[in-house]
A and B are shown apart, each in its own frame.
Chain A
C-alpha cells in the first residue's frame, strides 16, 4: 500500500516506439526525478500514468487500486501539466476555492503574494506566479501521488527554492514524480533519479552518471 506502481507501459507513434515496457514505482516519502532529452517521452509517460493519454499497453495501480483512466485517479493521483492546470478564465479565488477543499487560508499563509491577486483572472498572472500557484494547489490536493511536468519552467531562482521547500514539506505524506529540464533542481529535490532514454528507464545517480548516458556533455 501507499505505493504507485506503473508497469508494462508501451507507447508507439507509427513505427517509432517511444516507451518500451516501462516499469516505475513511487512510494509516499519519495521524490522520483525523471530526466530525459526533448521528445524522449517524459510528458507522455506522466500523461499515461494519470490517464489522459492512451497507451498501447499499461498497468497502473495506486494504493492497491487498478487505475484505467483519469476518473479512476481522482484523490489518488494529481497531475500538474506542462502547459498549466487552471483554465485562464477562472479567477484566482474561484480556482483556489475549487482546488483547496480544506479552505484557502493555509495557501494564503504559505504564499502571501497571492492575497492581492485573488480577484484577478488566472490568465492575467505572470507565468511564474501562475506556476507557483498551481504547484501549491496541486500540493494542497488530497491525492497521495503528485505528478509534476516541468514545475520549474519559467520560474525565478527564489521561487524554485520555494517550490522545492513546498515539496519537501509534503514529503511525509505524498510521493512525487517530477520531470524538468532544470536537472540541478531535480537532482536537489529528488530522492531517486531516473533517466528516460531509448524508450526505457535507467536508474542514475548524480551528474556523472547523466554524462555517461549522454544526457549531459
Chain B
C-alpha cells in the first residue's frame, strides 16, 4: 500500500475516535437549548472535539501514539491536522 495512503488511513482512525462523540454531544447540547442551530453546533463541535482529543489521547490512550509514530505520524502533526479539520468542519457548518 502506498505510504501516503497508509498515513491518510491511519489519521482517519486517529480522528474517528473523538469525532463521533464530539459531534453527537454538540447536537445534544444544541438540542437541549431548544433549537438545532448549525452555527452553534459548529462552534460546540470545535471545542468539544479538541477537548475529547485531549482527554482521550493525552490521558486514557497516550500509548496509542507509539502506533501512529510507526505509521509516520508525530504527535504535533496529528494535533495540527485534527485542529485544522475541526476548523474546516466548523466553518462548513457555519456557512450552511
Interface residues of chain A, those whose CB is within 8 Å of chain B, are 50-52, 69-71, 73-74, 78-79, 81, 83-87, 89-90, 94, 97-99, 101, 141
Contact = CB atoms under 8 A, between A and B. Distances in A.
Given A69-B74, A84-B63, A98-B6, A90 B13 contact: yes
B66 A85 contact: yes
Interface of B: 1, 3, 6, 9-10, 13, 17, 61, 63-67, 69-74
Given A83-B63, A87-B61, A87-B64, A98 B71 contact: yes
> Is the contact region of chain B dominated by helix, strand, or loop, or is it mixed?
helix
A74 B7 CA distance: 12
Given A70-B69, A70-B74, A87-B61, 6 more contacts: A51-B69, A74-B69, A81-B63, A85-B66, A90-B13, A94-B13
A73 B65 CA distance: 14
A52 B65 CA distance: 9
A86 B61 CA distance: 11
B67 A73 contact: no
A89 B17 CA distance: 9
Nearest to A80: B66
Contact of B6 (A71, A85, A101): A101
B67 A71 contact: no
* From A71, A73, A87, residue with most partner B Cβ within 10 Å: A87
Contacts of A101: 1, 3, 6
A145 to B, nearest CB: 13
B72 A74 contact: yes
